[in-house]
Amino acid sequence: MRIHQWTETDVDDLLTDSAEIFRQTYFGNLIFTPHSLDRIRTVSIGPIKSRWLPEVHQVTAAQREVHEMLGSGDLWGEIDSLHADLKRYLAEITSDSSLLPRLLKSTFAEFIEQASGALSLLEGIQRMGKDGDLELLKERLLRGAPTVSKDVALLPSRLRGAGLRMGLFTTNAVVILSDLPRLFVRIGSSLNTSLAIIVANAGCGKTQLAAELTAASGNRPSGVFFMEEICLPQEISMMWLIML
């Protein structure tokens, strides 16, 4: 066996044509591109195409969970909805701010600061998720979301007690602010999951689920599809999925 060590100069000489994009990588020929992943998946799902009907596929809870682990699916729709709702509530609240009692102005200012910060935070999460910056997103989620102070938590009831319309919108906004820490923990836990094992009875659609999950979606390339079935007690079939 002969070991050939590439130097920086060798790389410039040996990598040409399409490999030029890997010029900073010693083993460029081992890197998957979106095109090669799509081609590999097309070949690998060939044997199951006769029993896989994408048109009648039903999205299951398991599929939604795995999509969240991959940073895709309904996850960003949920973030978008929270951002849109909080922005709308803030607009309604600030439009009535001139009616605010003097004794509540300090707590109201604290609420506005927290809600505005949460809006910016959600916008950043949206941007990182949709751009595919999952590692950066994981780091941000790890720091968590700010918790609602006791005074801000009591503000909605005080506003409603004063008969102000903004009390209703403030209630909804505080609910969103209070739920953000739990949401961050849930999303962070999902994104840090590196292996998902799906177990179900034979004929429950595990193969179709794998085909759907490994399909390219948005800025996420195709995954690697392969299947290993083994016989377990009670005729349960297990399938292991590895997704890139």
Residue ranges covered by each domain of the chain: 1-31, 33-68+194-241, 70-191
**Amino acid symbol at 79:** I
Please choose, from the candidates 186, 171, 184, the residue with its C-alpha nearest in 3D space to the C-alpha of residue 86: 171
Encode pLDDT of 74-88 as tens digits: 777 888 999 999 999
Q: What is the pTM of this model?
A: 0.68
Look at the domain 70-191 and name its fold: Butyryl-CoA Dehydrogenase, subunit A; domain 3 (1.20.140)
CA distance 78 to 175: 15
CA distance 11 to 1: 21
Encode pLDDT of 140-179 as tens digits: 888 888 889 999 999 999 999 988 889 999 999 999 999 9
- Please calculate the CA angle 58-60-64 and round it to the nearest 5 degrees: 120
pLDDT in tens, the chain (244 residues): 555 555 555 555 555 555 555 555 555 555 677 787 788 777 777 777 777 677 777 777 888 888 788 777 677 788 899 999 999 999 999 988 888 888 999 999 999 999 999 999 999 988 887 777 888 888 888 888 888 999 999 999 999 998 888 999 999 999 999 999 998 898 888 888 888 787 777 777 777 777 777 777 766 777 767 655 554 444 444 444 444 3
CA distance 78 to 85: 11
pLDDT value for 238: 44
